[in-house]
């Protein structure tokens, strides 16, 4: 059966088949996004379904109840709250990981029938700056290009995107195109030298937040050098004079721009020349551009450069906003953001009237609702009394997360639909609703290049888990809207959505999939990937928009935008500790708040612990070795993480991954530190910049706990991961204490259970015995980072034998080796040994011997770096 990956916005097709009772998954060769390739996350989809705490039944305050009971209760409570405080007192918070069908029903119910405009989505944190930039420039939220354009381009610019890690299959496509056409150039613009940047022909490590200067500087250069397309601009682009006047200011001179961006002038000009010389240029941008107080302007300035040169709507030429989540684009189609209506309609009279008639909606909202950050603020104030969260974990992913938690905890009625009860948001819910997971539900999703793909169910939902659209439909019926919510199958919803996109659409809205409005159930089941629009003019879909130079504005012309100089860099308040600018983002093998990856052992191995990445000078200034516990403080809050060395950071800057929730570590979530600063136009939070102070946290003891369950005693800081190497699973947990000595820890341990304490050179090992076998253990050691936990894990369940114990301990203490290639499970040590002992001198040789980098290839630059270090 064919389906589509549940992780990133590349939207790779997968094939799932049963073999000898086991489900096997592979890439779908027929899917246009990936042509058979998959990255490590995609390949781990089947394993990811073994959720540790699957939510199987509806629960009200922890008590199991039936769906009937849950929905009656929900409808009753909502009706009461709406009766008392009006429809504006209830809200929905949705997710780019829902299907288009889920999303459509949620929006219709709230914006058309309940009459509350407060429906926003985690796409606000992700895509909303790009959405507004598209609307400003093109008149509609339209992504003009397709993935093939990255292969056809002569110059690819990746900015604010760590594509090698976050959209690996697309990056692989790009790399393969570069192998075929070595003349093709790749420029990466990112303050960090990421795995993506290290593979570029040119890396511009610009000062964070200086992107407007970089792109305005480029536009000025293009004008000055006569490298713009005068004829194209004359015919298809408006507001040229305004931009030209702005660009005349001295702050956009190359010298001034180089200073603002903190880049060598020759590198800056090198990029400008490359851009000027290559008509086939694609600029792909992602969160380094969107997640900023200037997100809309930054995206707008990138689009300006493409409009000025007419590089849009042509093969190999476009500005390309890459979407993050598998269905961020589908959410935008149905109006998932509080600032839109369905089918790319706005709140103008005509659109509202059209939508109200199409839906037969009694209470169509009159204007936009709260954007995510404001929505949670309204919740905090009690203006919103009931909130239903579907498919997202706002307690972790919103900025100022402690305040968000407070808001959630105060909420009178918090409903959470999720696949697991083990999320920071779900733990605060009054009503928990069990959602069918990927693999258990059908529907459609749209990827970054507008390709609509079918997600198909191949597993029965466990327990009483149900698709989200079903729960929403049942609620709608209970609230008295049965007639407008007749859905018994996703196909009915999809066809209605498709029909709406074409309803009274004379071409003014380019999002039009009306050719799919009459799909039968069989046709819907058999639907193959299609790139929208899919209508009378484009019955088979459409690769590129704006090919004719006509945009979705009233006069058909695109708009250039004027953006003022970037604001002054963030200042760190005076105080103790090292002042740093904190950046945040993603790791290759984790997905967001880890609910879908944290329990998969092989996805944990390359980065098992929450680490703050710092440059060598910062580490030196702190007196911290890698693995030391650090305390981070900002105006907003505090957090802890382990020190890690990253030579690719600009000095004075640090990077903390966004993934760690309270399920996986004590207070290591980056959003505890971030102020809720947002872009004024899009409301997208500025996740990439916060001023922090960092200091070393001196410890009384620390160590590793290995056991079947998590450590049960309070301890100052901990982080945990699934245990690799133990029969029957278990937990490996890093424990650290600054308030209590190790003797107190031992006294508490030995008071219960059958414990043995064995002194070590620098610490001790405590072993719990049950029926003569090792049940769990605690190794107190000054440097847990260096311990091979998989060796230790082999002790669990084994009988206590002195020789074996000593041999295993020696092995464990001899040092852990980081996993470099997650796909083929090749560690740094294996690679170094192959170089030193077998004399392998080339990446290809290492690939042939060990297999590293031969699947998704994202680790190849690291393999090359290890080789260079050993040889150098």
Ligand X SMILES: Nc1nc2c(c(=O)[nH]1)N[C@H]1C(S)=C(S)[C@@H](COP(=O)(O)OP(=O)(O)OC[C@H]3O[C@@H](n4cnc5c(=O)[nH]c(N)nc54)[C@H](O)[C@@H]3O)O[C@H]1N2
> Residue numbers of the site for ligand SF4 (CB under 6 A)?
5, 7-8, 10-12, 34, 38-39, 41-42, 167-169
Nearer to Mo ion, 324 or 685 (CB): 324
Determine which residue in the list 211, 246, 512, 543 makes contact with ligand X, applying CB under 6 A: 211
Question: Which among ligand SF4, ligand X, Mo ion, none contacts residue 13 (Cβ within 5 to 8 A by kind)?
Answer: none
What is the C-alpha separation between 495 and 482, in angstroms, rounded?
Answer: 18
Nearer to ligand SF4, 8 or 732 (CB): 8
Task: Note whether 189 binds ligand X by CB under 6 A.
Answer: yes
Nearer to ligand SF4, 320 or 764 (CB): 320
Among the residue ranges 83-91, 322-330, 653-661, 662-670, the one whose residues contact Mo ion (CB under 5 A): 322-330
Nearer to ligand X, 297 or 716 (CB): 297
Nearer to Mo ion, 324 or 368 (CB): 324
Alpha-helical runs (H) found in 50-127: 67-85, 100-107
Nearer to ligand X, 590 or 733 (CB): 590
Q: Which long-range contacts (CB under 8 A, 24 or more apart) does 615-621 make?
A: 615/645, 615/646, 615/647, 615/649, 615/650, 615/651, 615/652, 615/653, 616/645, 616/647, 617/651, 618/578, 618/580, 618/651, 618/652, 618/654, 618/694, 619/643, 619/645, 621/578
What is the C-alpha separation between 140 and 136, in angstroms, rounded?
Answer: 8
Residues 6+ away with beta carbon under 8 Å from 173 = 37, 147, 150, 151
Question: Which among ligand X, Mo ion, ligand SF4, none contacts residue 205 (Cβ within 5 to 8 A by kind)?
Answer: none
What is the C-alpha separation between 106 and 228, in angstroms, rounded?
Answer: 45
- 3-state secondary structure string across 384-453: CCEEEEECCCHHHHCCCHHHHHHHHHHCCEEEEEECECCCCCHHHCCEEEEECCCCCCCEEEECCCCEEE
Determine which residue in the list 81, 109, 126, 867 makes contact with Mo ion, applying CB under 5 A: 126
Peptide bond into 533 cis (omega under 30): yes
Task: Note whether 461 binds ligand X by CB under 6 A.
Answer: no
Strand-pairing partners, residue 416, are 389, 432
- Smallest separation, CB 325 to Mo ion (Å): 5
Contact between residue 408 and residue 425 where contact means Cβ atoms under 8 Å apart? yes
DSSP symbol at 76:
H
Contact between residue 129 and residue 434 where contact means Cβ atoms under 8 Å apart? no
Determine which residue in the list 119, 152, 223, 390 makes contact with ligand X, applying CB under 6 A: 390
- Smallest separation, CB 657 to ligand SF4 (Å): 16
- Smallest separation, CB 823 to ligand SF4 (Å): 11
Task: Note whether 160 binds ligand X by CB under 6 A.
Answer: yes
Percentages (nearest 5) of helix, strand, coil residues in the chain: 35, 20, 45
- Smallest separation, CB 633 to ligand SF4 (Å): 34
- Smallest separation, CB 9 to ligand SF4 (Å): 7
DSSP symbol at 110:
I
Among the residue ranges 58-66, 280-288, 473-481, 792-800, the one whose residues contact ligand X (CB under 6 A): 280-288
Question: Which among ligand X, Mo ion, ligand SF4, none contacts residue 42 (Cβ within 5 to 8 A by kind)?
Answer: ligand SF4
Question: Could you tell me how many residues of this chain bind ligand X (CB under 6 A)?
Answer: 61
3-class state of residue 330 by DSSP: helix
Determine which residue in the list 397, 444, 733, 822 makes contact with ligand X, applying CB under 6 A: 397
Among the residue ranges 103-111, 414-422, 520-528, 855-863, the one whose residues contact ligand X (CB under 6 A): 414-422
Nearer to Mo ion, 397 or 444 (CB): 397
**Token representation of residue 767:** 């072993």
- Smallest separation, CB 38 to ligand SF4 (Å): 4
- The Cβ of residue 86 has, within 10 Å, a number of other Cβ atoms equal to 11
- Smallest separation, CB 48 to ligand X (Å): 10
Nearer to ligand SF4, 34 or 129 (CB): 34
Among the residue ranges 234-242, 486-494, 579-587, 623-631, the one whose residues contact ligand X (CB under 6 A): 579-587
Question: Which among ligand X, ligand SF4, Mo ion, none contacts residue 595 (Cβ within 5 to 8 A by kind)?
Answer: ligand X
Determine which residue in the list 671, 737, 776, 858 makes contact with ligand X, applying CB under 6 A: 671
- Smallest separation, CB 663 to ligand SF4 (Å): 21
3-class state of residue 260 by DSSP: helix
3-class state of residue 35 by DSSP: coil
Question: Could you tell me how many residues of this chain bind Mo ion (CB under 5 A)?
Answer: 2
Task: Note whether 687 binds ligand X by CB under 6 A.
Answer: yes
Contact between residue 817 and residue 830 where contact means Cβ atoms under 8 Å apart? yes
Residues 326, 318, 171, 862, CA torsion sign: negative
Determine which residue in the list 43, 107, 128, 325 makes contact with ligand X, applying CB under 6 A: 325
Site string for ligand X, 130-149 (x = CB under 6 A): --------------------
Determine which residue in the list 324, 331, 533, 637 makes contact with Mo ion, applying CB under 5 A: 324
What is the C-alpha separation between 647 and 764, in angstroms, rounded?
Answer: 34
Nearer to Mo ion, 126 or 384 (CB): 126
CA 580, distance to chain mean position in Å, is 24
- Smallest separation, CB 590 to Mo ion (Å): 13
Determine which residue in the list 165, 215, 271, 376 makes contact with ligand X, applying CB under 6 A: 165
> Nearest residue by C-beta to ligand SF4?
42
b/e per residue, 55-67, with b = 16+ CB within 10 A?
A: bebbbbeeeebeb
Nearer to ligand SF4, 502 or 853 (CB): 853
What is the C-alpha separation between 604 and 611, in angstroms, rounded?
Answer: 13
- Smallest separation, CB 289 to ligand SF4 (Å): 19
User: Could you tell me the CA-to-CA distances from 308 to 223, 279, 764 in Å, in that order?
Assistant: 8, 11, 67
Interface residues with ligand X (CB under 6 A)? 8, 95, 97, 122, 125-126, 159-163, 165-167, 189-192, 194, 208-209, 211, 286-289, 291, 324-325, 390-394, 396-397, 417-420, 423, 435, 437, 468, 583-586, 588, 590-593, 595-596, 658, 670-671, 674, 687-688
């Amino acid at each position: 059966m064919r389906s589509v990956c549940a992780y990133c916005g590349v939207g790779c097709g997968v094939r799932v088949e049963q073999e000898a009772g086991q489900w096997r998954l592979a890439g779908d060769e027929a899917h246009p996004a990936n042509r058979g390739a998959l990255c490590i996350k995609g390949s781990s989809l089947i394993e990811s379904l073994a959720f540790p705490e699957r939510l199987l039944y509806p629960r009200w305050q922890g008590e199991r109840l039936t769906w009937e009971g849950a929905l009656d209760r929900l409808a009753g409570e909502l009706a009461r709250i709406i009766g008392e405080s009006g429809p504006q007192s209830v809200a929905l918070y949705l997710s780019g990981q829902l299907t288009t069908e889920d999303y459509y029903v949620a929006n219709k119910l709230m914006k058309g029938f309940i009459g509350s405009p407060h429906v926003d989505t985690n796409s606000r944190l992700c895509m909303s700056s790009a959405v507004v930039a598209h609307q400003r420039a093109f008149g509609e939220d339209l992504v003009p290009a397709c993935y093939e354009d990255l292969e056809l381009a002569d110059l690819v610019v990746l900015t604010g995107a760590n594509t090698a890690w976050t959209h690996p299959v697309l990056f692989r496509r790009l790399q393969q195109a570069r192998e075929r056409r070595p003349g093709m150039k790749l420029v990466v613009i990112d303050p960090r030298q990421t795995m993506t940047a290290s593979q570029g022909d040119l890396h511009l490590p610009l000062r964070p937040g200086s992107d407007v200067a970089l792109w305005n500087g480029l536009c000025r250069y293009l004008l000055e050098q006569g490298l713009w397309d005068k004829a194209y601009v004359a015919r298809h682009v408006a507001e040229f004079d305004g931009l030209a006047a702005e660009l005349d200011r001295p702050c956009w001179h190359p010298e001034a721009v180089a200073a603002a961006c903190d880049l060598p002038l020759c590198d800056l000009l090198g990029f400008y020349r490359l851009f000027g010389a290559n008509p086939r240029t694609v600029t792909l941008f992602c969160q380094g551009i969107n997640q900023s107080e200037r997100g809309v302007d930054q995206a707008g300035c990138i689009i300006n450069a493409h409009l000025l040169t007419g590089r849009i709507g042509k093969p190999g030429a476009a500005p390309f906003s890459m979407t993050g989540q598998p269905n961020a684009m589908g959410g935008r189609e149905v109006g998932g953001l509080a600032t839109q209506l369905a089918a790319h309609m706005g709140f103008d009279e005509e659109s509202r009237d059209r939508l109200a008639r199409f839906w037969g909606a009694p209470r169509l909202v009159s204007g936009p609702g709260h954007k995510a950050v404001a929505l949670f603020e309204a919740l905090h104030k009690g203006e919103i009394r009931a909130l239903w969260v579907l498919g997202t974990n706002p307690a972790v992913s919103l900025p100022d997360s402690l305040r968000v938690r407070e808001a959630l905890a105060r909420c009178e009625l918090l409903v959470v639909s999720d696949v697991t009860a083990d999320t920071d948001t779900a733990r605060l819910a009054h009503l928990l609703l069990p959602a069918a997971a990927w693999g258990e539900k059908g529907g459609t999703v749209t990827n970054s290049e507008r390709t609509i793909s079918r997600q198909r169910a191949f597993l029965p939902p466990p327990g009483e888990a149900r698709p989200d659209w079903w729960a929403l439909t049942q609620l709608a019926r209970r609230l008295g809207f049965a007639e407008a919510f007749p859905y018994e199958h996703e196909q009915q919803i999809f066809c209605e959505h498709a029909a709406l996109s074409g309803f009274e659409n004379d071409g003014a809205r380019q999002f039009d999939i009306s050719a799919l409005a009459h799909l039968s159930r069989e046709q819907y089941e058999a639907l193959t990937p299609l790139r929208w629009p899919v209508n009378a003019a484009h019955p088979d879909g459409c690769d590129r928009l704006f090919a004719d130079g006509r945009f979705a504005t009233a006069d058909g012309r695109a708009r250039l935008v004027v953006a003022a100089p970037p604001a002054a860099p963030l200042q760190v308040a005076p105080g103790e500790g090292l002042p740093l600018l904190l950046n945040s983002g993603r790791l290759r093998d984790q997905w967001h708040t880890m609910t879908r990856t944290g329990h998969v052992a092989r996805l944990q191995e390359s980065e098992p612990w929450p680490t703050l990445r710092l440059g060598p000078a910062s580490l030196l200034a702190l007196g911290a070795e890698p693995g030391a516990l650090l305390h981070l403080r900002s105006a907003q809050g505090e957090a802890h993480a382990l020190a890690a060395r990253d030579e690719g950071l600009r000095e004075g800057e640090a990077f903390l991954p966004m993934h760690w929730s309270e399920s996986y570590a004590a207070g290591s979530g980056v959003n505890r530190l971030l102020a809720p600063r947002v872009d004024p136009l899009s409301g997208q939070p500025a996740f990439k910049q916060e001023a922090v102070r960092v200091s070393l946290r001196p410890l009384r003891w620390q160590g590793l706990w290995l056991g079947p369950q998590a450590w049960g005693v309070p301890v100052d800081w901990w982080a945990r991961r699934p245990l690799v190497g133990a029969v029957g699973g278990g937990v490996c947990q890093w424990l650290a204490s600054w308030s209590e000595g190790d003797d107190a820890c031992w006294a508490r341990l030995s008071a219960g259970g059958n414990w043995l304490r064995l002194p070590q050179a620098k610490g001790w090992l405590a072993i719990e015995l049950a029926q003569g076998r090792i049940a769990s253990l605690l190794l107190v050691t000054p440097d847990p980072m260096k311990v091979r936990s998989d060796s230790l894990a082999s002790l669990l369940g084994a009988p206590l034998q002195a020789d074996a114990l000593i041999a295993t301990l020696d092995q464990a203490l001899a040092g852990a080796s980081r996993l470099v290639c997650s796909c083929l499970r090749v560690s740094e040590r294996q690679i170094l040994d192959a170089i030193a002992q077998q004399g392998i001198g080339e990446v290809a040789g290492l690939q042939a011997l060990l297999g590293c980098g031969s699947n998704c290839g994202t680790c190849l630059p690291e393999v090359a770096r290890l080789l260079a270090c050993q040889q150098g």
